[in-house]
Homo-oligomer: A and B are copies of this chain.
């Protein structure tokens, strides 16, 4: 049994001072005391840095700001303040459901920069998208037919066809979308048909889009996908005699759940030793600049004006978020069992999508490890663990604050109430000030939609 240890190879502004985990100048332990636990904390500074890294990559390659759109993938972490924050930074928004569309619009993001994805869009959401002038990334022929009918008299729809380039994405099958068996988009043959149908209707063909998957850590996948998309776009442009105004390469750039190749190896060995499923893509060596350069290079043969769109989510918000929980008790067991007030209901993605989260004791961050422990949740089933690994940690006591790192992406997406627990609060820390951006639920909130009927 070889336990893992906390990694202190932290991304800025996360840092350790006086044995405590800080976000910039904000003490995470004080945040836990001020707002209670469990608590999601998002570093606005980290979010902003990630956005700037994308934007600067485009600028350095000489692409003016009218020629690219960074559309934040709302699905990664949807919150009204976060969306306003994204808007303020000039981001567009990739939305995948009616409510994401409404939230993006309500947050002031320009409809011209909203891209509406999804394989089962609702009719009323399509109507709203048409009305607002949102780009609709058409997933299938039924949707195309709907749009033709919905726009027969009235406003033109702005559409793009989601193509599936059938690449060999090496990410977890659950999050590989640009592969042959994906539920999304149309293969080139059907996409060609879609463009022909769209042309003979009142639809404004404005673009082509794809999405390869999530947590992709191999640049070759993006190269292959982009090349296929661009080649196909040129083929369609020639055949239909049109010029696409938007080429949308989707998102998918991975983040480093392990901050180095060496750390990744250590963590993977620990999963292996505990006979747990492989965690293949924990380290991502692709810089945002490399990624952007790959996309722009693939477009070098396109001679007309167009706007390059990307839809990053995880790589903007993933490493900006942490989850804070409190130790409720330490049980004598082998290893020691540390029960937290957070449960697997907030960490499910790590199981579902084979990810991994570093854990740090926020109030003992600088101390030497003394004991081997496992971290379990507060729900009613045995699989309710905060990490399936064993951890070598400083002496643990009730009241200690535990920070689970890199929790910004998809953990809110999958957050469930389990044993009727209250969904947690979220705080944004930005320029060393903290802001409550989501209130903690109450008992009344949890049962708010229940109707009391006597049967």
Contact = CB atoms under 8 A, between A and B. Distances in A.
B331 A140 contact: yes
A153 interface: no
Nearest to A430: B455
Given A142-B398, A416-B416, A450-B80, A117 B329 contact: no
Contacts of A96: 379-380, 419
Interface string A421-455: 11101001010000111111101011111111111
Contacts of A174: 381-383
A141 to B, nearest CB: 7
A182 interface: yes
A80 B452 contact: yes
A193 B43 CA distance: 46
Contacts of A99: 419-422, 443, 446-447
What size tier do the contact residues of chain A reach?
35 or more
Interface stretch (A7-15, A20-28, A230-238, A333-341): A333-341
A141 B398 CA distance: 12
Interface in A332-367: 332, 337, 339-341, 345, 348, 351-353
B428 A214 contact: no
A199 interface: no
Interface string A58-92: 00000000000000001100111100110010000
Interface in A222-256: none
Contacts of A420: 74, 78, 97, 99-100, 103
A385 interface: yes
Contacts of A378: 97, 118-120
Contact of A414 (B331, B416, B423): B416
A96 B453 CA distance: 24
A312 interface: no
A3 to B, nearest CB: 15
Nearest to A441: B449
Interface string A244-286: 0000000000000000000000000000000000000000000
A175 B438 contact: no
A328 interface: yes
Nearest to A448: B445
Contacts of A418: 75, 97, 413-414
A419 B331 contact: no
A420 to B, nearest CB: 4
Contact of A415 (B119, B332, B416, B422): B416
A302 interface: no
A379 B226 CA distance: 24
A449 B455 contact: no
A44 interface: yes
Nearest to A413: B418
A177 B381 contact: yes
Contact of A451 (B142, B176, B341, B438): B438
A183 interface: yes
A175 B381 contact: yes
Contacts of A419: 74-75, 78, 96-97, 99-100, 118, 413
A452 B383 contact: no
Nearest to A337: B183
A330 interface: yes
Contacts of A332: 141, 190
Interface of A: 44, 74-75, 78-81, 84-85, 88, 96-100, 102-103, 117-122, 140-143, 172-177, 179, 182-184, 190, 213-214, 328-332, 337, 339-341, 345, 348, 351-353, 376-385, 398, 413-423, 425, 428, 430, 435-441, 443, 445-455
22 contacts: A75-B419, A80-B451, A81-B452, A96-B419, A97-B421, A99-B420, A99-B422, A117-B380, A119-B328, A119-B378, A120-B340, A173-B383, A174-B382, A183-B382, A184-B382, A190-B332, A213-B382, A348-B352, A413-B419, A435-B451, A445-B448, A445-B449
Given A81-B455, A120-B328, A352-B383, 20 more contacts: A75-B419, A80-B452, A81-B452, A84-B454, A97-B419, A99-B447, A117-B380, A120-B329, A142-B329, A142-B330, A175-B382, A179-B382, A213-B382, A348-B416, A352-B352, A413-B417, A423-B449, A428-B453, A437-B450, A438-B449
